[in-house]
Amino acid sequence: MKAILWTAYGPPGVLQPGEVEKPSPRENEVLVRVHASTVTTGDCEMRKLKLPLFFSFPMRLYAGFDKPRRITILGQELAGEVQAAGREVKRFKPGDTVFGTTTIRLGAYAEYICVPEKLLAPRPSNLTHEQAAAIPLGGQESLYYLRKANILSGQKVLVYGAGGSIGTVAVQLARHYGAEVTAVDRASKLEMLRSIGAAHVIDYRSEDFTQRSVIYDVIFDVVGKSPFPRSLDRIRDQGYYLIANPSLSHLVRGPGLSKKSHKKILAGKSEQKVQDLLQIRELIEAGRITPVIDRIYPLEQTAEAHAYVDTGEKKGSVVITIP
């Protein structure tokens, strides 16, 4: 089968078209004919292995110390059609259309992939494969964090790094909860963020939101780059500071600052559960969440897609189609 092979740690050119053996599903897996995947910022960070040391060293041990060996195909999100199912699979049969994530297994830049049943859900009936592939990771990450803040109608929520695949879902999800949403990102993304429900937008390159007098109930930092700890000054007592991509400083200083400030700092790894994916599916079918797609590339241009995501200009998701 056709696939894009991850041949080394480095620039987009390390991704090369190739042929690999078609996999066979284990007892708890389904074989999916992949119709669409995505290029996330996480995929690009993995490709380069430009991660904080406390992440990059374990990843080298897992994937291969000097070059990728255990994992040779990237891709975290997918949408496609079930071709076969293991004998323990209960929820899917051949012909079903599905969407979901691969987690640390990766491997979605290929014609076929075997995925555990627990990582998949039926594709939303009102989305194409391309649209469905653009939602699982951002949807589950946003739901995981924002649910912890128990957002109430009328509260003020700021999403930092709002223009990517996680942030665009977070803006819509917070708006669904009834919040007044402020979105922070590059100027080129602000019009799009207004269009999906942000009441206020800020270009972080020209303005530091912590210099404003506004106090927020929740700050959700998708990218881990909001001013820390100055952001705490812009959160009410007992409010929430959610950090989806924490640095070592966030993890070390967060608990102490949380106690001292009486503000709840939640940072760390999210959990991906099929129940959350099913809830996102319901919100999509109800028209509450719509995938934002910037560009679509064919499988053979995956390296070009990675190069575009590296620019930081991506609005929502960049999709890879596998005809």
pLDDT per position as a tens digit, 178-204? 999 999 999 999 999 999 999 999 999
pLDDT of residue 49: 86
Q: At 38, list the tokens.
A: 């995505």
Domains of the chain: 2-135+291-321 (3.90.180.10), 138-267 (3.40.50.720)
| Amino acid (one-letter) located at 204 | Y
Q: pLDDT for 268-300, tens place per residue?
A: 777 888 999 999 999 999 999 999 999 999 999
Mean pLDDT of the chain: 93
Q: How far apart are CA 73 and CA 19, in angstroms?
A: 11
Q: pLDDT for 19-38, tens place per residue?
A: 999 999 999 999 999 999 99
Query: Which of 226, 298, 305, 304 is CA-nearest to residue 267?
Result: 226
| Amino acid (one-letter) located at 316 | G
pLDDT of residue 50: 74
pLDDT of residue 104: 86
pLDDT of residue 64: 82
Q: Are 316 and 291 in contact (CB under 8 A)?
A: yes
Q: Are 185 and 209 in contact (CB under 8 A)?
A: no
Query: Which of 173, 80, 76 is CA-nearest to residue 123?
Result: 80
Q: How far apart are CA 32 and CA 110, in angstroms?
A: 10
Q: Strand, coil or helix: what is 186?
A: coil
Q: How far apart are CA 88 and CA 294, in angstroms?
A: 38
Alpha helices by DSSP H, the chain: 41-48, 53-63, 129-133, 136-148, 165-176, 187-195, 248-261, 274-285, 302-310
pLDDT of residue 257: 66
Q: At 186, list the tokens.
A: 């590059």
pLDDT of residue 263: 86
Q: Are 19 and 127 in contact (CB under 8 A)?
A: no
Token pair 């959160």: residue: 235
Q: Strand, coil or helix: what is 114?
A: strand
Dmax of the chain from CA atoms? 59
